[in-house]
Amino acid sequence: METVLLRHRGPTLDTNLLIKSPSPSLLHRNPKPPTSPRIATFLLLIPPTPSVLSLPLVLDSFLALSVPPSICHRRVISSELPKIWLRSLVFGDLVQREAIFFQMATIVESVNSNIERAEEIKLSANEAFKANKFSQAIDLYSQAIELNGTNAVYWANRAFAHTKLEEYGSAVQDATKAIEIDPRYSKVKKICPNDPDASKKLKECEKAVQKLRFEEAIAVHESEKRSIADSIDFHTIEVESQYTGARIEGEVVTLEFVKKMMDEFKNQRHLHKRYAYQIILQAREMLQAMPSLVDISVPNGHHITVCGDVHGQFYDLLNIFELNGLPSEENPYLFNGDFVDRGSFSVEVILTLFAFKCMSPTAMYLSRGNHESKSMNKIYGFEGEVRSKLGETFVELFAEVFCCLPLAYVINDKIFVVHGGLFSVDGVKLSDIRAIDRFCEPPEEGLMCELLWSDPQPQRGRGPSKRGVGLSFGEDVTKRFLQENNLDLVVRSHEVKDEGYEIEHNGKLITVFSAPNYCDQMGNKGAFIRFTAPVLKPDIVSFSAVPHPDVKPMAYASNFLQMFS
């Protein structure tokens, strides 16, 4: 085995290439000098006898000299070369070989240009990420990946951006790809055994997994559980004489009480537990009697306002009422799920919405979101907030009441309102939704899961969910569902939008999101939609965030999630 050291000096390269070959000599000098220094180098590698040097070695050698060493997977380029080129390199004459190398050089120069452009786009994506413009960052990282899909950093960065939007399915896919490209991504604790941050996160992950396994082991089936609501009698709870907050006189929740309660909440004072129990239990009784799909009738000349996610942003909820009026029979609202979690005033939000429901059932309609569930509340802050402000019993009580929330509404037989979206199969009728037994925690698949979790997509058909739960559905899916059920429009929430709303699917689907500057970092507006009968044309109002007390979002979230927030 002979070792030949070739030194290539090009305009921008000065690289040593070590080649091992079974032949006595690889140097074959041609009488006519080639026109390119780079090609000259590689013509030296092509021997007179084609069998002497293997083609993969020639290609890898060329790419090793031509592609920066920081770029992974040079074989990707060689694997895409036309087979006729490969045959010409081995069996062709000098002119053919030189022509092929010219074309190879052009490809490599294009690759290098793409690599440089990808780095520029990545830097722009990083700036968007720092500015909390996570959707824009994802788009930019995607552009960088299209130009250079072998850079693990791009995939890892996009995965992190997906987590900021709770798109955990896409985040896992991107993180997996990053590890596939560069296995070192999976060894942070081994590479950095003394890194305190890595150690802390590893311990928290292990603790979270152990806790989930323990809870699963001791879990009692839903059908075997005794209702916590049946064990509570709020009448026996004494209200101390020094309590100066809002009071319910007798059994009826009045507008005066709700106004007083909201004012107390605004000044960061709490409601007495007796009245909190009374509101929640009365709301439970009303919600429990409702079907899984509720029909709302809006008389001609009257209206209804649909709001999206509020996510514990109580002061923005007050602003909605300031802009659009308080709920009443003449000014009804439909809040479309995700009342709690993330924002640190979720208790105030849910008690206010429940109180209006108790005051007048037709003034306030509430649908279930994916965050009205134990698993989400445990992670994203509501459980911790309830435990801190009201106590452990209320944690169980809220979980029970959330299972009573309807899953969807139909306004005047024309507008379908649901938190998440549509289904993995065609042919779902409104009667199928009415028949869902909703009094449980959301399952991981099926109609109920998809109602709470699915998202629209710009492509036709169906695709995997970016969240890892539910699915993505296209304009054709929306169109068929509306036609089969004689409906005109789908209104859903579940996603942050820059203006608080987005009209999609050829005008047949509207997303509305009512938590402006989501988590104090997204910079988005909130929105609500007013529909007036009989036309029911959507009148959309966007609004900006208002100041709130200095309590950060996720203040009550699990330690595990706070580390990655």
Nearest C-alpha neighbor of 300 from the set 488, 532, 530: 532
Phi, psi of 122, rounded to the nearest 5 degrees? -60, -40
Give the angle 368-266-388 at the CA atoms, nearest 5°: 65
Structure tokens at 257: 């009480």
Structure tokens at 338: 């995700």
In the chain, how long is the greatest CA-to-CA distance? 109
User: Angle of helix 255-266 relative to helix 314-324, nearest 10 degrees?
Assistant: 130
Question: Looking at 311, 371, 494, 548, which residue is catalytic?
Answer: 371
Per DSSP, the three-state class of 481 is: helix
Per DSSP, the three-state class of 541 is: strand
Phi, psi of 504, rounded to the nearest 5 degrees? -135, 180
**Helix (H), strand (E) at residue 34:** none
Nearest C-alpha neighbor of 541 from the set 521, 522, 526: 526
For residue 73, indicate whether it is catalytic: no
Nearest C-alpha neighbor of 316 from the set 561, 553, 555: 553
Structure tokens at 478: 């929306």
Give the angle 183-173-119 at the CA atoms, nearest 5°: 70
Give the dihedral sign, CA 246/318/379/280. Answer: positive
List, as one string, the DSSP characters of 256-269.
HHHHHHHHHHHTT-
Q: Is 94 exposed, middle or buried (0-12, 13-18, 19+ CB in 10 A)?
A: middle
Nearest C-alpha neighbor of 410 from the set 390, 431, 393: 431
Asked if 370 contacts 442 with a C-beta cutoff of 8 angstroms, the reply is: yes
* Residue reference for tokens 């969240």: 467
Catalytically annotated residues: 371
